[in-house]
Amino acid sequence: MHQQWLKDFHRMIICQEPGKMAYTRPDAHLTCEFGRWFGALPEELLACLPNVQQLAAPHEQMHDAARQLLQLLHQENASRQTSYESFVDASLDFKLAIRHCQSELLQQICTVDHLTGAWNRHTMESRLHEEAERVRRGAHSCSLGIVDLDHFKLINDQYGHPAGDRVLSEVAGFLMKYLRAYDITFRYGGEEFLLCLPDTRLHEAEQFLNRIRENLAAHQIEIGAGQIINVSASFGVTQIGADESIADAISRADHALLCAKARGRNCVCAWDIGVH
């Protein structure tokens, strides 16, 4: 967004072309094309994009340096050279911040489920293998839980798919809020989420997920047009064994989930290693 701005600015200081008064205003960082775009972003969107938020400071610093340089443009003293160097440094800092932001956004697109904000299944494989390796080294325990929203198809059928999408997004946000900072939430598929609970033994995971299950069932979800519904979920949980594959651990958690559904749903079922 600043390529044309930089071309115009350099023509002003090198070719001594007449400049725009807007360039010397204290609020120039708000009135340029980038500033208008940034200022129009909803606060709730910015809250989800800290990498975009971080562009504000280097952008303002670049405009401040440009304004100071213009004020000294016709003065023959050392201050002008210093101001020019400060402007170049600020411009490079902003350019690097843009590139870093682009890289992080691309990484996020490739690793995060766009609907729920949870990590996607591609990311799940690599992250779970990392946790399994920690378990194999013998220093840590790790439990896996699969969460399946009860009767989710009825929500889509009764309220429509946009309402179903809203429920998935709300439940994902609920899980990420109530889990611990080092726990990981993945979108497993459909209305299912997979939870990775590092440093957690099976009995601890079962108790922890049961508290989450109770809170989720009491959590009200607004699905549009003033309608509010409650949803429940079934949980299957197991602990990763030191000498097994991630696929085997997930399969066991899936069996536990089937057990929870067979018990009437809205409950937690744990499946221990070695139980068949």
pLDDT tens profile 133-157: 999 988 789 999 999 999 999 999 9
- Structural domain contains residue 217: yes
Same domain, 141 and 44: no
CA distance 59 to 44: 21
CB 39 within 8 A of CB 14: no
Instruction: Look up residue 45 and give its two tokens.
Output: 């969107």
For tokens 């299950």, the residue is 213
Active site positions, annotated? 191
83: Cα within 13 Å, side-chain hemisphere: 19
**Confidence (pLDDT) at 273:** 75
- Identify the domain containing residue 32 by its residue range: 3-111
Mean pLDDT score of the chain, rounded to an integer? 87
CB 163 within 8 A of CB 217: no
**Confidence (pLDDT) at 162:** 93
Same domain, 129 and 265: yes
CB 177 within 8 A of CB 241: no
pLDDT tens profile 200-230: 999 999 999 999 999 999 999 999 888 999 9
**Where is the domain boundary, 111, 144, 166?**
111
pLDDT tens profile 98-141: 888 877 766 666 788 889 989 998 889 889 999 999 999 887 89
For tokens 């839980």, the residue is 145
- Structural domain contains residue 67: yes
- Structural domain contains residue 257: yes
Q: Which residues contact 212 (CB under 8 A, 6 or more apart)?
A: 175, 178, 179, 235
Q: Which of 1, 246, 268 is CA-nearest to residue 133?
A: 246
- Structural domain contains residue 89: yes
pLDDT tens profile 58-92: 989 988 888 888 777 666 665 677 888 888 888 88
User: Is residue 6 very low, low, confident or very high in pLDDT (cuts 50, 70, 90)?
Assistant: confident
Query: Residue 248: pLDDT above 80?
Result: yes
- Structural domain contains residue 211: yes
Same domain, 125 and 97: no
User: Is residue 159 very low, low, confident or very high in pLDDT (cuts 50, 70, 90)?
Assistant: very high
**Where is the domain boundary, 91, 111, 131?**
111
Same domain, 49 and 83: yes
Q: Which of 44-53, 59-68, 164-173, 189-198 has the lowest mean pLDDT?
A: 44-53
Same domain, 160 and 257: yes
Same domain, 211 and 159: yes
Q: Strand 268-270 and strand 184-189: pairing?
A: unpaired
CB 142 within 8 A of CB 237: no
CB 269 within 8 A of CB 256: yes
**Where is the domain boundary, 68, 84, 111?**
111
Q: How many domains does the chain have?
A: 2
Residues 175, 255, 211: CA angle, nearest 5 degrees: 30
Which CATH number is 186's domain given? Answer: 3.30.70.270
